[in-house]
Homo-oligomer: A and B are copies of this chain.
């Protein structure tokens, strides 16, 4: 309910200011949980009341940031060219989708982390997760010989969880390239499993 656009220009100006400030803070600070709402408000030159009226709560702010960043990727996925776009054959599109998710999380580590683990309930209730999941599920369903596409979609997405990505990139210093390769390898492994692929590959 606090998602309404306001007609007043100070309101929209402040909204932008908050978004920008939060963005900067999450980029700068080490851990997402030591970016407090008070920090954001102060950095934006705005009172806490304004902040909370504009975004409802912390999760709302995170969501707004996240979705703004995600927007271009959704464009590419829904109306873009292959391999991300809908015209791509499932075998190519699934790895492309997961690679996109991975890259997104690599580019927005702190933010994704804050949104996925911040106490605001399980990430599986989030709208954007459902979106990815149902898309992935639908694409998987078009691959013959694959069962349980619902679970498979969950399991594949789980391999790109923000805290795992953060751990690999931050703690274990796995370079971006290698990580993408590993994920791609894993994904194609899942897609080309079972007796069907074995047979078709042989003939």
Enumerate chain A interface residues (CB-CB to B < 8 A).
33, 117, 119, 122-125, 147-148, 151-152, 154-155, 158-159, 161, 163-164, 166-168, 171, 179, 182-183, 185-186, 188-190, 192-195, 197-199, 201-202
Q: Do B148 and A154 touch across chains, with their CB atoms under 8 A apart?
A: no
**How far in angstroms is the closest Cβ of chain B from A40?**
18
Q: Do A124 and B163 touch across chains, with their CB atoms under 8 A apart?
A: yes
Listed A/B pairs (7) with beta-carbon separation below 8 Å:
A117-B117, A117-B119, A148-B186, A151-B179, A154-B168, A188-B193, A190-B193
**How far in angstroms is the closest Cβ of chain B from A76?**
24
Q: Do A148 and B201 touch across chains, with their CB atoms under 8 A apart?
A: no
**How far in angstroms is the closest Cβ of chain B from A1?**
23
Which residue of chain B lies nearest to A151 when distances are taken between CB atoms in the complex? B182
6 nearest A-B residue pairs (beta carbon): A198-B198, A189-B193, A158-B158, A124-B167, A155-B159, A151-B182
- The A contact surface, by secondary structure, is helix
Q: Do A123 and B163 touch across chains, with their CB atoms under 8 A apart?
A: yes
Q: Which of B159, B182, B193 contacts A193 (CB 8 A)?
A: B193
Q: Are A124 and B171 CB-contacts (below 8 A) given A33-B119, A147-B185? A: yes
Stoichiometry, copies per complex: 2
Alpha-carbon distance between A193 and B197 when the two chains are bound, in angstroms: 9
Q: Do B155 and A186 touch across chains, with their CB atoms under 8 A apart?
A: yes
**How far in angstroms is the closest Cβ of chain B from A103?**
16
A158 contact set on B, CB distance < 8 A? 155, 158-159, 161, 164
A122 contact set on B, CB distance < 8 A? 117, 163, 166-167
Alpha-carbon distance between A145 and B131 when the two chains are bound, in angstroms: 34
A168 contact set on B, CB distance < 8 A? 151, 154
A117 contact set on B, CB distance < 8 A? 117, 119, 122
Q: Do B186 and A151 touch across chains, with their CB atoms under 8 A apart?
A: yes
